[in-house]
């Protein structure tokens, strides 16, 4: 498969990749973990919607409203197929992964979790899978416990087993760390959680864009992910849910479209997924996400995963040779397309700023995972991340830039 | 851009003159930049006339914020606290001698923000202090 993959051809699909960041300095985009770039097919799908089909969905009778509704719902069906959900009604549109997790916390959590209930999270979570549970816990007095991360960036599954013996109600964890690139053994962890009687939520923000994720195979109860990290637009995300769980959950927000009937003092909620989609949604963005799913499917998720694995391995081999550079997470084994690192004596902000001079976009900071950085006893790191459109030549530019920085500060 | 990392900034970052802590002190304040988690603490000793006699900073941060702290403290030695209260964004940029975009401006102004919260005796350092 990988031999047939032409990264230059893929790059041509993304208009932004041909821009210059400074005069004669082309963009080297190594920040896809924060947000991915968009192929023309996604941009055009949204453009076409606004040029030709813009109308509010669901209750309109006129042609535009019909077309908008059809496109919006078609996208939902595409997304369901993409993650192998049984039915489109299991796909709830949200704003992003964060909102999807908040929806579960505020709807399912508020109804089904009670004082003293055990919720298992991990030390490598993004703030989006920590703070919603902390907020709920203020009200509910939950017991939040965390699976530790070992020095190789892997979850300590022995501790997970111990926690599972304490009657957990929910296990919620990231499929792939946005800092370490660790891909957690989700299927095994879900099976164990189920055996312990817990509901499971997987943060798929970094997995769904980068490799094939099959909700039926995983057996997961909830899966949250964002469009913008999978070459789709910002402003739209997805909560996949097990049908009976979604049915049992109360509405999260009230307003238009989430109701079946409204009286002055009461309402009857709409069926799923509309029950959770109050107000006019991000219609163009949903259609854009549908186009993104088409695009990723046309390239093939296995091809994408293979390519990223090749790039990240190449990057790891070279990064480890930069003097004073320490990579967070596992050095061997299979990691996702993320390399976070520190350079001795040089702050990540300075690294990112100087790399930008060479057109190289990386991220500096705690990447919304402050507890994970605390665990490694560092305030911040620099992160270079890779996607289907990145080439080995771009990795070479990163290495050259880092070598220059080391000389500048330590020379 | 090379201007951004001109020698004076790298020099103050690598060999700061005012890094450390003062115990006891007359004024001490610490805070962080929530964007990057950088943490900075500034301690001052002030004489009976209200002039800054000694100053020190501690914590961790990028070259821009650390150099800014060092240059800022250097500039206020001997100054009256009332004059320190009047310092603004322009003074810091003048000390650094560079132009900064909105994100890095936060790094450069973190020391001033903390310094002013300290001399004003405020509970928290807000962006309003350095506007």
A283-299 pLDDT, tens digit each: 999 999 999 999 999 99
The verdict on A356 and A390 lying in the same domain is yes
The larger pLDDT score, comparing residue B43 to residue B123, is at B43
- Cβ atoms within 10 Å of A354's Cβ, excluding its own: 22
How large is the average pLDDT for residues A155-177? 98
State the best of B36, B100, B109, B110 to mutate against chain A, taking most chain A CBs within 10 Å: B36
Residue A2 scores a pLDDT above 70? no
B111: left (phi over 0), alpha (psi -120 to 50) or beta: alpha
Tokens 């979604």: give the residue: A246
Judged on CB neighbours under 10 Å (0-12, 13-18, 19+), A364 is: buried
The verdict on A231 and A264 lying in the same domain is yes
Residue A257 scores a pLDDT above 50? yes
Q: Which residue of B has its CA nearest to A409?
A: B10
The larger pLDDT score, comparing residue A191 to residue A151, is at A191
The DSSP letter of residue B127 is G
Model confidence over A266-322: pLDDT tens digits? 999 999 999 999 999 999 999 999 999 999 999 999 999 999 999 999 999 999 999
Query: Given A298, A331, A362, which residue is the final one in a domain?
Result: A298
The verdict on A331 and A256 lying in the same domain is no
pLDDT tier for residue A4 given thresholds of 50, 70 and 90? low
The whole model's pTM is what? Answer: 0.90
pLDDT tier for residue A333 given thresholds of 50, 70 and 90? low
Q: Length of chain A in residues, anyone?
A: 411
Model confidence over A370-411: pLDDT tens digits? 899 988 888 889 999 999 999 999 999 999 999 999 999 987
Torsional sign, CA A122, B40, A31, A39:
positive
Question: Cα–Cα distance between A163 and A118 in angstroms, integer?
Answer: 9
pLDDT > 90: what percent of chain B?
Answer: 66
- pLDDT at residue A1, as a whole number: 42
Please give the angle made by the CA atoms of A136, A174 and A151, to the nearest 5 degrees: 110
Beta-carbon separation of A379 and B36 below 8 A: yes
Dig out the tokens for A317 from the structure.
Answer: 């081999």
The larger pLDDT score, comparing residue B33 to residue B69, is at B69
User: Cis bond leading into B24, ω under 30°?
Assistant: yes
Does A143 reside within a domain? yes
- Cβ atoms within 10 Å of A157's Cβ, excluding its own: 16
- pLDDT at residue A410, as a whole number: 85
- Residue of A350, A366, A380 lying closest to B63 (CB–CB): A350
How large is the average pLDDT for residues A194-214? 98
Does A37 reside within a domain? no
The verdict on A322 and A334 lying in the same domain is yes
Tell me what ipTM this predicted complex has: 0.74
Question: Cα–Cα distance between A102 and A380 in angstroms, integer?
Answer: 26
- Map residue A358 onto helix, strand or coil: coil
The verdict on A326 and A217 lying in the same domain is no
The verdict on A192 and A154 lying in the same domain is yes
Residue A81 scores a pLDDT above 90? yes
Does A38 reside within a domain? no
The verdict on A217 and A116 lying in the same domain is yes
Residue B3 scores a pLDDT above 80? no
Residue B2 scores a pLDDT above 60? no
Q: Length of chain B in residues, anyone?
A: 131
- pLDDT at residue A3, as a whole number: 52
CA-wise closest residue to A369 among A72, A96, A41, A146? A146
Question: Cα–Cα distance between B131 and B123 in angstroms, integer?
Answer: 18
The verdict on A202 and A237 lying in the same domain is yes
Question: Cα–Cα distance between B47 and B2 in angstroms, integer?
Answer: 40
pLDDT tier for residue B39 given thresholds of 50, 70 and 90? confident
Beta-carbon separation of A373 and B1 below 8 A: no
Please give the mean pLDDT across all residues of chain A: 95
Question: Cα–Cα distance between A155 and A162 in angstroms, integer?
Answer: 13
Beta-carbon separation of A380 and B37 below 8 A: yes
Residue B34 scores a pLDDT above 90? no
CATH architecture type of domain B7-130: Alpha-Beta Complex (3.90)
pLDDT > 90: what percent of chain A?
Answer: 89
Model confidence over A63-80: pLDDT tens digits? 999 999 999 999 999 999
Question: Cα–Cα distance between A63 and A69 in angstroms, integer?
Answer: 10
Show residues of chain B in contact with A349, CB under 8 Å.
36, 38, 62-64, 104, 107
Number of domains in chain A: 2
The verdict on A132 and A218 lying in the same domain is yes
Query: Given A298, A324, A349, which residue is the final one in a domain?
Result: A298
- Map residue A217 onto helix, strand or coil: helix
Residues paired with B46 in a beta bridge: B52
Residue B36 scores a pLDDT above 80? no
What range does the domain containing A389 cover? 2-30+301-410
Residue B70 scores a pLDDT above 80? yes
Does A36 reside within a domain? no
The verdict on A87 and A129 lying in the same domain is yes
The count of C-alpha atoms lying within 13 angstroms of the C-alpha of A190, restricted to the half-sphere facing its C-beta, is: 20
For residue A101, give the CATH number of its domain.
3.40.640.10
A93's enclosing H/E stretch is strand A91-94
Tokens 């402050």: give the residue: A370
Residue A347 scores a pLDDT above 70? yes
The verdict on A197 and A50 lying in the same domain is yes
Question: Cα–Cα distance between A115 and A106 in angstroms, integer?
Answer: 15
The verdict on A243 and A370 lying in the same domain is no
User: How far is the alpha carbon of A113 from chain B, nearest alpha carbon, in Å?
Assistant: 31
Model confidence over A113-135: pLDDT tens digits? 999 999 999 999 999 999 999 99
Query: Given A298, A323, A344, which residue is the final one in a domain?
Result: A298
The larger pLDDT score, comparing residue A331 to residue A207, is at A207
Q: Which residue of A has its CA nearest to B10?
A: A409
Beta-carbon separation of A379 and B62 below 8 A: no
Residue B80 scores a pLDDT above 80? yes
Question: Cα–Cα distance between A239 and A173 in angstroms, integer?
Answer: 14
Please give the mean pLDDT across all residues of chain B: 90
CA-wise closest residue to A210 among A285, A303, A289, A317? A303
Residue A334 scores a pLDDT above 80? no
Q: Which residue of B has its CA nearest to A364?
A: B36
The DSSP letter of residue A337 is S
């Amino acid at each position: 498969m990988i031999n047939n993959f032409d990264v230059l051809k893929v790059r041509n699909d993304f208009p932004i990749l041909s821009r210059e960041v400074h005069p004669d300095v082309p963009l080297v985009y190594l920040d896809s973990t924060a947000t991915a770039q968009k192929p023309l097919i996604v941009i055009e799908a949204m453009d076409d919607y606004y040029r030709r089909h813009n109308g509010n969905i669901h209750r309109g009778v006129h042609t535009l409203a019909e077309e908008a509704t059809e496109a919006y719902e078609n996208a939902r069906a595409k997304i369901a197929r993409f993650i192998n959900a049984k039915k489109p009604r299991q796909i709830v549109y949200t704003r992003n992964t964060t909102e999807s997790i908040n929806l579960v916390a505020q709807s399912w959590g508020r109804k089904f979790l009670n004082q003293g209930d055990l919720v298992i999270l991990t030390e490598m979570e993004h703030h989006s899978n920590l703070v919603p549970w902390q907020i709920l816990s203020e009200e509910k007095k939950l017991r939040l416990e965390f699976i530790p991360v070992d020095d190789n960036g892997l979850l300590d599954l022995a501790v997970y087993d111990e926690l599972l013996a304490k009657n957990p109600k929910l296990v919620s964890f990231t499929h792939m760390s946005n800092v370490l690139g660790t891909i957690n053994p989700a299927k095994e962890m879900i099976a164990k959680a189920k055996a312990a009687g817990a509901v499971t939520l997987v943060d798929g923000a970094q997995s769904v864009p980068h490799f094939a994720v099959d909700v039926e195979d995983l057996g997961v109860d909830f899966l949250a992910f964002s469009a913008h990290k999978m070459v789709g637009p910002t402003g739209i995300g997805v909560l996949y849910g097990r049908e009976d769980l979604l049915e049992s959950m109360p509405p999260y927000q009230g307003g238009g479209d989430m109701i079946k009937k409204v009286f002055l003092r009461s309402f009857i909620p709409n069926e799923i997924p509309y029950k959770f989609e109050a107000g006019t949604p991000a219609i163009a963005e949903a259609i854009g996400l549908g186009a993104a799913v088409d695009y990723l499917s046309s390239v093939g998720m296995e091809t994408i995963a293979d390519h990223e694995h090749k790039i990240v391995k190449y990057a790891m081999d070279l990064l480890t040779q930069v003097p004073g550079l320490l990579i967070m997470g596992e050095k061997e084994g299979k990691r996702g397309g993320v390399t976070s690192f520190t350079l001795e004596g040089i702050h990540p902000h300075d690294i990112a700023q100087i790399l930008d001079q060479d057109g190289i976009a990386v991220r500096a900071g705690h990447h919304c995972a402050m507890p994970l950085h605390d665990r490694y006893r560092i305030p911040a790191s620099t992160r270079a991340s890779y996607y289907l459109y990145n080439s080995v030549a771009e990795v070479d530019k990163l290495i050259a830039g880092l070598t220059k920085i080391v000389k500048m500060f330590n020379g | 851009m090379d201007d951004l990392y001109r020698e004076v900034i790298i020099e103050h970052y690598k060999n700061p003159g005012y890094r450390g802590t003062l115990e006891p002190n007359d004024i001490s304040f610490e805070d962080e930049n929530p964007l990057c988690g950088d943490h900075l603490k500034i301690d001052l000793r002030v004489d009976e006339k209200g002039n800054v006699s000694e100053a020190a900073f501690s914590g961790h941060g990028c070259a821009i914020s650390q150099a800014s702290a060092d240059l800022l403290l250097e500039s206020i030695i001997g100054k009256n606290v009332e004059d320190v209260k009047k310092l603004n964004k322009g003074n810091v940029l003048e000390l650094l001698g560079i132009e900064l975009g909105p994100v890095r401006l936060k790094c450069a102004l973190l020391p001033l923000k903390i310094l002013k919260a300290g001399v004003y005796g405020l509970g928290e350092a807000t962006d309003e202090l350095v506007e």
